[in-house]
Structure 1
Amino acid sequence: MKIAFFVSAAVMVAVALAALLLPLMRQGRQSGRSRGVFALMLAIAFILPLTAGALYLLVGTPAALNGVAAEAERPLTLPQAIDELHTHLARQPGDVQGWMLLAQTSAMQRDPAAARDAYDHVLKLAPNNAEAMVGWAETDSMTRDDHMIEGRALELLKRAVQLQPDSQRGLWLLGISDFQHGQFHQAAATWRVLQPQLEPGSKVAQAVAEQIAVADARAGGAPAGAATTAPAAAAQGAALQVQVSLAPALKSQVVAGDTLFVYARAENGPPMPLAVAKLDASQLPTSVTLTDAMAMTPALKLSSVTHVFVGARISHSGQPIAQSGDLEGDAGVVAVDSKTPIKISIDKVH
Structure 2
Amino acid sequence: MNLLWIALGLLLLPALWLVVLPLRRAAEVHDAQQAYETEQRDEAQNVAVYRRRLASLEAARERGEIDATRFEESRLELDRSLLEDTEARRHSPLKSPRAGRILVPMLLVALVVTSLVWYQREGAEGDLALFAARQEVANSPDGSLPMLIERFEEQAERQPGNPKVWLSLFPLYRDSGQFEKAIAALEQLIELEGRQVNLLAQLAQMEFFVANRTLTDDVQMLVDEVLEQDPRQPTVLSMLGLEAFDHGRYEEAIDYWRRAIAGMNNPDSAEALRNGIAAAQQRLGIEPEEAGSGNEGPSLNVSVSLAERLRSQVSEGDTVFVVARDVKGELPPLAIERATVSDLPFEVTLDDSDAMAPMASLSKVDEVNLTVRISSSGQAMPQPGDLVGRAGPVTLGDVQGPVNVVIDGIVD
TM range (shorter): 0.5 to 0.7
For 1:139, the equivalent position in structure 2 comes to 203
Q: What is the Cα deviation at residue 250 of structure 1?
A: 3.2
Check 1:13–1:117 CA distance in 2 against 1; reply closer, same or farther (3 A cut): closer
Give the alignment's TM-score, normalised by structure 2: 0.53
Q: Which one of 251, 260, 263 corresponds to residue 185 of structure 1?
A: 251
Check 1:23–1:309 CA distance in 2 against 1; reply closer, same or farther (3 A cut): same
> Where in structure 2 are the equivalents of 1:164-183 lying within 5 Å?
164-183=230-249
Cα separation, 1, equivalents of 2:360 and 2:226: 24
Q: SS of 1:308's equivalent?
A: strand
Check 1:17–1:72 CA distance in 2 against 1; reply closer, same or farther (3 A cut): farther
Q: Which one of 22, 34, 57 corresponds to residue 35 of structure 2?
A: 22
Give the alignment's TM-score, normalised by structure 1: 0.60
> Where in structure 2 are the equivalents of 1:187-266 lying within 5 Å?
187-195=253-261, 203=268, 205-217=270-282, 219-222=283-286, 228-229=289-290, 231=292, 234-235=295-296, 237-247=297-307, 249-254=309-314, 256=316, 260-266=320-326
**1:306-349 per-position Cα deviation (integer Å, ceiling 9, x unaligned):** 44331122344566554443321212544445526645343322
Cα separation, 2, equivalents of 1:16 and 1:305: 77
Q: SS of 2:389's equivalent?
A: strand
Cα separation, 1, equivalents of 2:25 and 2:258: 76
Q: Which one of 292, 308, 313 corresponds to residue 373 of structure 2?
A: 313
> Where in structure 2 are the equivalents of 1:111-126 lying within 5 Å?
111-117=185-191, 122=195
Cα separation, 1, equivalents of 2:228 and 2:28: 75
Q: What is the Cα deviation at residue 186 of structure 1?
A: 0.3
Q: What is the Cα deviation at residue 188 of structure 1?
A: 0.2
Check 1:282–1:68 CA distance in 2 against 1; reply closer, same or farther (3 A cut): closer
Structure 1: segments with no counterpart, 5+ residues: 32-40, 82-101, 123-130
For 2:26, the equivalent position in structure 1 comes to 13
Cα separation, 2, equivalents of 1:243 and 1:233: 26
Check 1:220–1:157 CA distance in 2 against 1; reply closer, same or farther (3 A cut): same
Q: Is the 8 A contact 2:237 2:256 kept in 1?
A: yes
Q: What is the Cα deviation at residue 212 of structure 1?
A: 1.5
Cα separation, 1, equivalents of 2:245 and 2:367: 24
**1:217-273 per-position Cα deviation (integer Å, ceiling 9, x unaligned):** 3x42348xxx834647655x3233445454454355355555544321344346656
Q: SS of 1:325's equivalent?
A: coil
Specify the code of the residue in structure 1 equivalent to 2:310.
L
Q: SS of 1:238's equivalent?
A: coil
Q: What is the Cα deviation at residue 23 of structure 1?
A: 3.9
For 2:123, the equivalent position in structure 1 comes to 76
Structure 2: segments with no counterpart, 5+ residues: 1-12, 45-92, 129-161, 171-184
Cα separation, 1, equivalents of 2:245 and 2:113: 58
Pick which of 15-24 and 110-119 moved more: 110-119
Specify the code of the residue in structure 2 equivalent to 1:77.
A
Specify the code of the residue in structure 2 equivalent to 1:268.
G
Q: SS of 1:185's equivalent?
A: helix
Cα separation, 1, equivalents of 2:243 and 2:199: 14
Q: Is the 8 A contact 1:303 1:336 kept in 2?
A: no
Q: CA RMSD in A?
A: 5.0
Q: Is the 8 A contact 2:374 2:387 kept in 1?
A: yes
Residues matched between the structures, number: 297
Check 1:187–1:301 CA distance in 2 against 1; reply closer, same or farther (3 A cut): same
Q: SS of 1:339's equivalent?
A: coil
Cα separation, 2, equivalents of 1:302 and 1:184: 21
Cα separation, 1, equivalents of 2:40 and 2:316: 119
Q: Which one of 338, 349, 363 corresponds to residue 303 of structure 1?
A: 363
Check 1:251–1:268 CA distance in 2 against 1; reply closer, same or farther (3 A cut): same
Cα separation, 2, equivalents of 1:270 and 1:202: 19
Cα separation, 2, equivalents of 1:282 and 1:158: 35
Q: SS of 1:314's equivalent?
A: strand
Specify the code of the residue in structure 2 equivalent to 1:349.
I
Specify the code of the residue in structure 2 equivalent to 1:310.
L
For 1:276, the equivalent position in structure 2 comes to 337
**1:8-27 per-position Cα deviation (integer Å, ceiling 9, x unaligned):** 43442122212322245458
Q: Which has the larger radius of gyration?
A: 2
For 2:49, the equivalent position in structure 1 comes to none
Cα separation, 1, equivalents of 2:240 and 2:394: 32
> Where in structure 2 are the equivalents of 1:330-345 lying within 5 Å?
330-331=390-391, 333-339=393-399, 342-345=403-406
